[in-house]
Structure 1
Amino acid sequence: MKLNLLLALALPIAMYSQSTDVGNTSDYPNQFTSGSANVHPFNNSSRMFRDWSISVGGGGAFLQAADVNSFYDGKVNFGYNAYISLDKQISHTFGMSLHYQMGKTNQKAMLPGAAGVAAGVATAWTEYNQVSILGDINFSNLLRRTDNNSTYRWALHGYGGIGLQGYKTLLLDNDMSRYSTSPKRIPIEIDQNIGLDTFFFEVGTGLKYNASKLIDVELRTMYIITGDDSFDGGGYGKNARPPYNAIAKGVSDNFFTVNLGLSFKLGKHEKHLAWVDPLQEINNRIYVLETTEPEFVVCESGDADNDGVCDDWDRQLDTPAGARVDGAGVALDMDLDGVIDLYDKCVTVPGPVENNGCPTNYKPQ
């Protein structure tokens, strides 16, 4: 019987507790807020900072970890690259980019032994196109001291991402370029289209300068791990002939880029989220409050009778201790009989002072 009664009481409560969904979460106040706080939906109109930008840049590209690489015989074979990206700042410390890069690397190598004597120094180039998703960590905002009140215009960024690539390579040497003599040789040429199996990884760092509210300037270097032993033009796999891919032990041809770029910050707000540190701004406001001389001091003259009303506007500076007072510091006399409520034995009925504020025909206890 008791169990049935308990269930009869509990079920309606449980059902009600599960049916408290807000019909429209943009309606305030609701059961989750009384409306006393400044609560509103987060949308485009409530944004305080810019958070979109478009970045462009370019510079050098160098095949570094490869069988046929850009550093040969103490000399550097320069390549080039250019990029464009659409950037979204998620928070003041993290952002993401849709990134496109194209470029060309130039490289050289020489086979060991007799094959190298016959072929001489081989020259190769690789033209590539890459599409990737980049994550961006703002180390300056992440590591910045909150008690640093200075404005800052330099920021260190770290990048990491994954993407897909397509490339075209060509390698020539004295042995393979024999078109007129016998036997004729065909140069090593590879044309790799972008596909699901052509993914690569990249990491890097950049130093940004806040040139204006519209433009950032950045010096950026990226290291690209292709995961492909054919990217340098040495042929397919370690068993390729001629055996250029056997010169080095690695199976991934990796290169790096050094770029100078511009970021154009989009939006109407004064600041971009990448240049805002909320903790620093809070600390700055606290600092201003602590160091600003007050223009108006409340109760500068004190409260001599401790009635809660400052002496500056207290009309009764000697209110007895414990007496209730009005806004002007005057002791309350509810029945207006001249005896304040603290001493009045008949608070709601007027009476003479001699009878403690009670009628003459009433003897207070």
Structure 2
Amino acid sequence: MKNSKSLSLILGLSAYIGSVNAQVSPSHPYTAPHPIYGTFSVTDSNYYNKKQLAQHNEFMVGSQDYPGKPKDMWEVGIKGGIFTIGGDVDAVLGTPGFGIHVRKSLGHTLSLRLEYMYGIAKGQNWRPSTGYTAGGYTNPWFYRYTKNSVLPGGNVWNPIDYPAVYYNYKTEVQELSLQLLANIHNIRFYKAQTGVTLYALAGLGVSTWKGRVDAMHQVRGDAESAAYDFASVNSDGVYTNRKDVLKRLKDLQNGEYDTPIERDPSKPYSDMFRGNIAPSVSGGLGLAFRLSPRINLAIEDRVIYNGSDLLDGVRWDEYKTLSPDKDLMNYLTVGLNFNLGNKSRRVEPLYWLNSMNYAYSELRRVPEIILPDADGDGVTDQFDQEQTPAGCPVDLHGVSLDTDGDGVPDCKDKELVTPTYCQPVDADGVGKCPCPEGCAPAQSDCAASLGALPSIHFAANSNKLSDDAAATLATVASKLKANPNCKVVVVGYCAATKRQQQLSWDHVNKVISHLVEKEGVSSDRFIFSSGQEGGDCDAVDIRAAAPGEDGPNTVAPPHPNLRKN
């Protein structure tokens, strides 16, 4: 039956949900030995530290929904790349930077990394500058890049004495920082293991730097002869493009970077380590490629800021005012990272492992759904009220259908619809018509046999049977089946309007149809009576038919198109 198949589907879904919930209930502890990440199994206590072991034990007995977080490996890495400073002086590309780090995951998304960085940055302007004169005698450019070594109280400044210069620098930077890395690219829905992860980082640290400029010849005696004569770089006005100017500067300078850059007066620890020191912040992005369970290759770019404008030794613009922009450091690297730890006690770092693996492995463990049905009638034993012979159609309760209510199931009934007056029937469901004289009980006994039958109530202007009404009709059906020779009259009330006439017919028809279709009572047991006076418009009365009383068991609806109009 269609209804039986629908019920089976609902039961199947219920059993599936129950089986999933059972895995985390106290009566169904987790027992799967299969690995989730590589060789790691959720049930293996070797992968949990003391703090997580208590949660693991609770999970194993079913009192905790989530397993403990396994111990994972530490990552150490080395890297090298390009270190540059973005400031007031044009950066020379290709200067080196190096670093080492140690990293530990906090979970599948976040991890902490402690990193040491050492970088060398160089810069060289190809355009001349005069802003250095605003710095006075505190600026190395002022007393190194002049034709005359002028002391305080000496000659008044003259543009001839202080010609334009070409800023350059070489700065060494060291930084130690603690960084938070965020990675969600390992969470995959269609594969267990990712080969590439994208991450963002932010860090706090401390940086120290020491810079020098290339300002003089090798001569250490006379200041005038020691200083470069930058006026010669473009004295003939020919070298006006970048390439030519840089070539002439390279020929002029010796690359010794002999003069310290100006100390940063805004930093209170400028003299520490013979340089400058300041707190730093950084941020960046990285892309890591998993080469094996132990090794990965990372490409990363990090920007570092420490609030100084003197990383390149220049803080004055050409208008003799302080430069409004602070210097930034950029650290572009390629590195090799190694996972350290015993693989029998630690998994790979969690930021390499797909956190969906556990959820998907649980879904795969749902057992095959088995709903026992001993008699094979399509209704599971849990709801089956009868062991039905093979091949017999049943109702939703697993009870064999008996259309005419003669006590012989339809699958064995050779007379599928036996009139009530022809019953009782033989073993093949065949009635005895005409009934031999005196075989039928007197109809006057029906009122006593059936007793007072209950009324069926509907909601106002409704033709829907409530659950209570359906239960009441089940009781009426039981009495009718126990008295197969009795008929009943089904009475509906009110006929003042067309709507009342139709609704009264609907109520009577609803009651009879329910008793025939849902309860298996033969339709010839009913007398249809609607539109009567003297009763509740929203009620239907059922009474035993009087001796000799008869009538149709169905009538045409008085106004079938009323609702459409």
- In the superposition, the TM-score normalised over structure 2's length comes to 0.40
Aligned to 2:72: 50
The aligned residue for residue 21 of structure 1 is none
1:257 matched to 2:331? The reply is yes
* Residues 1:159 and 2:159 are matched in the alignment: no
Could you tell me which of 207, 216, 220 is aligned with 1:179?
A: 220
Aligned 8 A contact 1:120 1:173 in 2: no
> How big is each residue's C-alpha offset from its partner over 1:242-266, in whole Å with a ceiling of 9 and x where there is no partner?
x789698334211211101111112
Cα root mean square deviation, aligned: 4.4
Confirm or deny: 8 A CA contact 2:302 2:330 kept in the other structure: yes
Among candidates 212, 219, 233, match of residue 170 of structure 1: 212
> Highest relative contact order (Cα 8 Å, sep 6+), 1 or 2?
1
Counterpart check, 1:274 vs 2:351: yes
Separation of aligned partners in 2, 1:166 and 1:245: 29
Contact 1:159 1:204 in 2 (8 A): yes
Could you tell me how far 1:41 is from its partner in structure 2?
12
Contact 2:96–2:121 (8 Å) recurs in 1: yes
The residue number in structure 1 matching 2:283 is: 203
Q: Could you tell me which residue of structure 1 aligns to residue 302 of structure 2?
A: 222
Distance in 2, Cα, partners of 1:54 & 1:133:
14
- Going from structure 1 to structure 2, the CA distance change for 1:80 and 1:250 (only over 3 Å counts) comes to farther
SS at match of 2:185: helix
> CA separation of 1:27/1:249 partners in 2, compared to 1, >3 Å: closer, same or farther?
closer
Residue 287 of structure 2 aligns with an amino acid whose one-letter code is: L
**Matches for 1:183-332 after TM superposition, within 5 Å:** 183=224, 187-189=259-261, 190=263, 193=272, 198-234=278-314, 238=316, 249-267=323-341, 268=343, 269-279=346-356, 281-283=358-360, 285-286=362-363, 288=364, 294=368, 297=370, 299=372, 307-308=381-382
| Structure 2 partner of 1:103 | 119
Aligned mates of 2:223, 2:276 — CA distance in 1: 40
| 1:66-81 equivalent positions in 2, closer than 5 A | 66-70=87-91, 76-81=92-97
SS in 2 for 1:140: coil
Paired residue secondary structure (1:198): strand
Query: Is the alpha carbon distance of 1:217 and 1:108 closer, same or farther for their aligned partners in structure 2, counting shifts above 3 Å?
Result: same
Work out the CA distance in 1 between the residues paired with 2:339 and 2:160: 55
Gaps of 5+ in 1: 1-24, 71-75, 311-315, 323-365
Displacement of 1:277 after TM fit?
2.8
Assess, with a 3 A threshold, how the Cα gap between structure 1 residues 36 and 150 changes in structure 2: closer, same or farther: closer
Matched letter for residue 88 of structure 2: D
Shift of residue 156, structure 1, vs aligned partner: 0.5
Cα distance in structure 1, aligned partners of 2:303 and 2:74:
25
Distance across 1 between alignment mates of 2:209 and 2:105:
30
Residue 37 of structure 1: aligned partner: 62
Query: What secondary structure sits across from 1:264 in the alignment?
Result: strand
CA distance in 2, matches of 1:222, 1:232: 19
Within 1, Cα distance between the matches of 2:325 and 2:66? 52
Q: Per the alignment, do residues 79 and 306 of structure 1 end up closer, same or farther by CA in structure 2, a change over 3 Å counting?
A: closer
Mapped contact 1:57–1:83 kept (Cα < 8 A): yes
One-letter identity of the residue aligned with 2:111: G
- How far has the Cα of 1:217 moved from its partner? 0.8
Contact 1:69–1:232 (Cα < 8 Å) also in 2: no
| Separation in structure 2 between the aligned mates of residue 27 and residue 157 of structure 1, nearest angstrom | 30
Instruction: Give the 3-state SS of the residue equivalent to 1:299 in structure 2.
Output: coil
State the alpha-carbon separation in 1 of the partners of residues 356 and 52 from structure 2.
28
How many residues of Structure 1 are paired with residues of Structure 2 in the alignment? 267
Give the CA deviation at 1:308.
3.9
Task: Look up the equivalent residue of 1:57 and give its one-letter code.
Answer: K
1:53 and 1:88 in contact (8 A); partners too = yes
Structure that is richer in helix per residue = 2
Q: TM-score, normalised by structure 1?
A: 0.59
Structure of greater Rg: 2
Q: Deviation at 1:79?
A: 1.3
Deviation of 1:37 (Å):
2.5
Percent of residue pairs identical: 17
**CA contact under 8 A between 1:67 and 1:232: conserved in structure 2?**
yes
Distance 1:92 1:170 in 2: 45
